[in-house]
Structure formats: C-alpha cells, structure tokens
Structure 1
Amino acid sequence: MNVIVYSTNDCIECEMVKKVLTEEGIPFMERNVSVSPEYQKEVEQLGFLGVPVTVYQDLKVKGFTNELKALIEKAKTNPRP
C-alpha cells in the first residue's frame, strides 16, 4: 500500500479524501493522528500542521484540493514506487 492518508476523527475533509480514493480504486493506509502522537509527528515532519494530508511517493497534498487529482493520477499510472 503506497498511499497514506493522515486523518483525524470527525474531519469532513478527511472523509472526502478517503471516499474519493476508494471510489477511484486507490488502496490507502489511514494514519489517524487522534490515536497516535507519532502520526502527528510524521505530519509535522512532512511540513504540515493539520490534516488531511495524503502522501504518495514524492507528492504530499494537504486537504481536498485539485492537487489530490494529480496524486490520484500518479497512483493509478504508477502504482508501485
């Protein structure tokens, strides 16, 4: 599983990201920062303070934005690093 989604509880944007990835057939690992301080540290090391953050290879996308489309397309065309 190459795509990682950092999320938190009760996050509408996080749910939207996970829904789109699922609809597009992109498998992902969810890392909930609400249950693991280590995951929050990982998000900060990536250069972000909040979630959702979606990571695939060298792409790091904050939120539910058009940049997420590029990440999805890259994951579809190049499913392994």
Structure 2
Amino acid sequence: MMKQVIVYSMDDCVECEFVKRVLTEEKVPFEVRDIRASEKYQQEVEEFGFLGVPVTVWENRAIKGFTPELQEIIDRAKNG
C-alpha cells in the first residue's frame, strides 16, 4: 500500500494554497480532501482534533496550518 500525504483543504483558503504549493515544489505527492465537498472529510479533520484547515496528514501525524512542522512531514514522506 502506498503511503500518501493528505491535505484537508477548502476553496478560498490562502494557507491551504501555501501548503499545497510547498508540497508540489518539494515533489511530494498528496491527495486533497475538500472539507466543504464532503461532510466525512470535515469529520476526519475533527477526529484529528482540529476545527479548521489546512490539516496535513502523513501516517499517524497531523498538523494544522502552514508551520515549520510541515517540513517534518515533507522529509518523512520523501524518505518513505
């Protein structure tokens, strides 16, 4: 099974766009889950303990926002 980064996002979210841009520039594949398109995705974000987006997930690690911790997820994803 392929491990993948997941970015919970929504339209008109500047911070979400920053996260997706950085992942793209770092050549890290990711899946975007729009919380406005699916109530299930919103529930998943809440299960991680967050109310807003962006939330970036790799394996069992979830972070909120465009923070320095994002680099840790990028490094882990690249090294598999």
- TM-score for both structures, normalised by structure 1: 0.93
Q: Tell me the C-alpha RMSD between the 2 structures.
A: 0.8
Question: Which among 56, 63, 66 is matched to residue 54 of structure 1?
Answer: 56
1:12 aligned partner: 14
Choose which of 3, 15, 21 in structure 1 pairs with 2:5: 3
Structure 2 unpaired stretches of 5+: none
| Separation (CA, whole Å) in 1 of partners of 2:10 and 2:70 | 18
1:12 positional shift: 0.2
CA apart distance, 1:42: 0.5
Distance 1:55 1:39 in 2: 12
Match of 1:26 in 2: 28
In the alignment, structure 1 segments of 5+ residues that lack a partner are none
- The residue that corresponds to 1:42 in the other structure is 44
* Count of residues paired in the alignment: 78
C-alpha distance in structure 2 between counterparts of 1:69 and 1:61, whole Å: 11
Q: Distance in 2 between matches of 1:21 and 1:61?
A: 14
- Give structure 1 regions of 4+ aligned residues with deviation exceeding 3 angstroms: none
The alignment's TM-score, normalised by the length of structure 2, stands at 0.94
Task: Report how far residue 58 of structure 1 moved.
Answer: 1.8
